[in-house]
Structure 1
Amino acid sequence: MNPTLNADLHCHSVVSDGTLTPEELALRAKSQGVQLWALTDHDEIGGQARAAAAAAACGLDYLTGVEISVTFLHQTVHIVGLGFDANNAALAEGLQQTRGGRAQRAQEMADDLARVGIKGCFEGALQYAGNPNLISRTHFARYLVETGICKDTYEVFRKYLTEGKPGFVEHRWAHLKDAVRWITQAGGLAVIAHPARYKFSANEEMALFTEFIGHGGQGVEVVTGSHSAAESVTYAATALEFGLAASRGSDFHSPTESRTELGALPVLPGELTPVWALLEDRITRAPRAASTRA
């Protein structure tokens, strides 16, 4: 399958921490030239039916998607799942367990921010959470921007909500093996998301990839909104070294917040195997207009 396909297999809607609905995202992806799309909300597949229907309505091929938070070596790592059965009960149950504890964590974050004089953050962040069960740092960041504490979300994460800064509360997510198992047993393919974002040593990153593959993981994001050109080259080499398929996704959250627009990424390097080549039978093909002759 064509490695130059304009596939965008990583983005978020209001079902998790994006600002657009699944329907709005489908239309935006189509207008930006995306040919294959996946909605990958955090720890939640509740928007999949809407996304698939919207993609079909606007003539966009679709893969089911999700982004699962896991804890690995005391860091949060994200695993994207693609092409799974969105009605799989074990996957849904696992994600529900992963979402547990977010509200308590959010309250602790708000309490910590209150200690440095920023009050009302829990209630404020909740206004931005389309799904209260998935209240996250992103929702806190939007509140801090809206109230003038910070000028944009990038400033928020420089000053707050990250390790060693006010508002940071560690949360223990799913185990790596569980996330990969939920995805693969539901018929999908597991992908390590934006690997350059993690602060692992070379040995720790080797451990991540080795364990991921050992549990049945098959892909890695090479071209993403989080990677520089040099980092994409690095992880293209990593994909070849480990025999992993390569994925591509903008990690789009919002028209005003995201650094990368849907569908605006460079193509995958040609020597790589794209993840969609392994998922051809799981792609929901949009209806094609009938050809006509003059």
Structure 2
Amino acid sequence: MSPTLNADLHCHSVISDGTLTPEELAQRAKDKGVELWALTDHDEIGGQTRAAAAAAALGLDYLTGVEISVSFLNQTVHIVGLGFDANNSALREGLAQTRGGRAQRARAMADDLARVGIHSSFEGALKYAGNHDLISRTHFARFMVETGVCKDTYEVFRKYLTEGKPGYVAHRWATLKEAVYWIRDAGGLAVIAHPARYKFSANEEFALFTEFKGFGGQGVEVVTGSHSAADSVTYTDVALEFALAASRGSDFHSPTESRTDLGELPTLPEQLTPIWTLLQHQIQKAPQGLMPT
């Protein structure tokens, strides 16, 4: 497969904190010219069967995907898994453990928001959570936009729900080692998602990549919806330094909220190894001869 392949290997559905169903995402990906797609819901693989079936019906190649929340040096880091066996019991059990406690965390977030005059936010956020086990800050943000607290979700995250701001409650996620091992042992590849978003010092970031590589991680998102052109240059260098394959994904959540749509990212730098070249046997190839629907 070509390094210039229009692959989008990071997006979210209503199964976690997106606003479209797996089927709607597959159709949008196809319409936007995506050639290889993965649904990567947060800590959840319940949408994989639907996503793979929708992709096959549209003539779209597919990779299984997930985005696992990890605690590393007191920050939350996201690790994307690609090309794994979605029926692997250890992966499923690990993700279930990671999801545990989200409801309690959400109630604590609502209590903190109530202290600054924002009431009924737990019930409001639940309306936006297609999967109540995965209620998240994004669902609270949508409620706060709906009720006029903020004009958009970007304003919400500037004023609330982040460390040091009202409504922020930390959660103990999986460890980096656990996440990489779950993905690897299920036959997939682990990828550090949108690394420019983390607020690590240079030494802390070096530790993240060193430990990730040591546990068997094999990729990093270089081109993403939240990376600038300068970020992509920086993480091209990091990928080369650590001999990691490069991934590409929009991190699409919603037509009205996401800055980058499915399929609209720049191509990967040509000096990098695209992650999909390491996943040839895991790609679920679409049946040939299908007409677009």
Q: Distance in 2 between matches of 1:148 and 1:60?
A: 39
- 1:183 matched to 2:173? The reply is no
The runs of 4+ residues in structure 1 deviating greater than 4 Å are none
**Alignment partner, residue 277 of structure 1:** 277
- 1:132 matched to 2:132? The reply is yes
Q: Distance in 2 between matches of 1:142 and 1:107?
A: 16
**Alignment partner, residue 15 of structure 1:** 15
- 1:211 matched to 2:200? The reply is no
Distance 1:79 1:151, change over 3 A: same
1:97-112 matched pairs, under 5 angstroms: 97-112=97-112
1:1-294 matched pairs, under 5 angstroms: 1-289=1-289
Deviations 1:170-210 (A, max 9, x none): 11100000000000000000000000000000000000000
Q: Distance in 2 between matches of 1:92 and 1:290?
A: 32
Q: Which runs of 5+ in 2 are unaligned?
A: none
Contact 2:121–2:140 (CA under 8 A) maintained in structure 1: yes
Q: Distance in 2 between matches of 1:263 and 1:201?
A: 32
The TM-score, its normalising length taken from structure 1, stands at 0.98
Q: Distance in 2 between matches of 1:269 and 1:154?
A: 29
TM-aligned CA deviation for residue 290 of structure 1: 7.8
Report the secondary structure of 1:68's partner residue.
strand
TM-aligned CA deviation for residue 269 of structure 1: 0.5
Q: Distance in 2 between matches of 1:109 and 1:199?
A: 22
Root mean square deviation of aligned Cα:
0.9
Contact 2:8–2:263 (CA under 8 A) maintained in structure 1: yes
Q: Distance in 2 between matches of 1:179 and 1:80?
A: 9
Q: Which runs of 5+ in 1 are unaligned?
A: none
Q: Distance in 2 between matches of 1:48 and 1:67?
A: 12
Q: Distance in 1 between matches of 2:136 and 2:87?
A: 25
Q: Distance in 2 between matches of 1:117 and 1:290?
A: 54
Contact 2:59–2:290 (CA under 8 A) maintained in structure 1: no
TM-aligned CA deviation for residue 255 of structure 1: 0.2
Query: What amino acid is the match of 1:130?
Result: G
Report the secondary structure of 2:261's partner residue.
coil
Deviations 1:100-126 (A, max 9, x none): 000000000000000000000000000
Q: Distance in 2 between matches of 1:14 and 1:197?
A: 23
Q: Distance in 1 between matches of 2:21 and 2:172?
A: 28
